[in-house]
Structure 1
């Protein structure tokens, strides 16, 4: 049985790019790369495709955090500060669970992110729920990016 990890989405199965991995012995995050080259114009938001999806256990989520080199050296920011990938996002009907990284260019010049450049870190977390949460009926995820609550 698989516990947690990353897989390529079907659209990028034949595209070469690094799969998420921890680079040092004590790294908390798995470096996540761009699956294709993307240009970010100043002041513009771009959803950068990673070509990967994440699977995990109930009670876990994947937190997406921008790599500090992207923020400091390239003036990019993760639009939602921390992205949250829920366990039921994996293999959803809309986009197979494809993780997209929402970046904004806060600088004054265009920034090119080459295919394979590490743009974010993914950290798996456990989370807690409140008393009687299991007694409240919940919807089943039917969509992809931004589908919760629709």
Structure 2
């Protein structure tokens, strides 16, 4: 019986995607690589700076300016081509690599990613894991296919005595599908 591990999603099966791996014998995290080449733009783009200046100087900001600034601050999803299976009482925590903020100016905007056991093979995206990133560096960052971008750690979790099953539902979709 398989307990936990990784598989390549069908979309990437013939594209030389690497299954996550540990780089040392004592590493807790499995390194995830990017499945594609892509650019993560710097948040310090002109539209964002205009709105930041207006906020600082207490100037009125119109909806169009605000929407353009939000587009710059929106996290980018880096596809991994990987899905993870695990036991029902386990979670895969996605964390930034420690070198990303220091060397590349890249951050996981929500701190960590949480991959639930029922995300695996979901109908929305087959359970493909995407890594959310923002680039707070001065210049755009080029991500190449095969670059290590995050790490995943399998962990057990505990349930509270008061777990309310009436608020639980079956997962119906992919990324971000269990809430707003």
TM interval, shorter chain, is over 0.9
Structure 1, residues 98-127: CA drift from partner, whole Å, max 9, x if none?
Answer: 000000000110100110010000000111
**What 5-or-longer segments of structure 1 have no aligned partner?**
none
Deviations 1:2-41 (CA, angstroms, capped at 9, x unpaired): 1000000011001113210111010000000000111011
Counterpart CA distance in 2 for 1:131 and 1:28 is 29
Paired with 1:59 and 1:19, the residues of 2 have a C-alpha distance of 23
Aligned counterparts, 1:57-136, within 5 A: 57-133=87-163, 136=165
More helix by share: 2
* Structure 2 partner of 1:48: 78
Q: Distance in 2 between matches of 1:149 and 1:136?
A: 16
Deviation at 1:149, TM superposition (A): 3.0
Structure 1 vs Structure 2 CA RMSD = 1.2
Which deviates the most, 12-21 or 50-59? 12-21
The structure in which a higher percent of residues are strand is: 1
Flag structure 2 segments of 5+ consecutive residues without an equivalent.
44-71
CA distance in 1, matches of 2:145, 2:153: 22
How many residue pairs align between the two structures? Answer: 149
After TM superposition, the score normalised by the length of structure 2 is: 0.80
SS of alignment partner, residue 73 of structure 1 = helix
2: distance between equivalents of 1:132 and 1:76? 38
* Contact preservation (8 Å) 2:41, 2:141: yes
Aligned partner of 1:8 in structure 2 is 8
Structure index of larger Rg: 2
Counterpart contact for 2:8–2:17, Cα < 8 Å? no
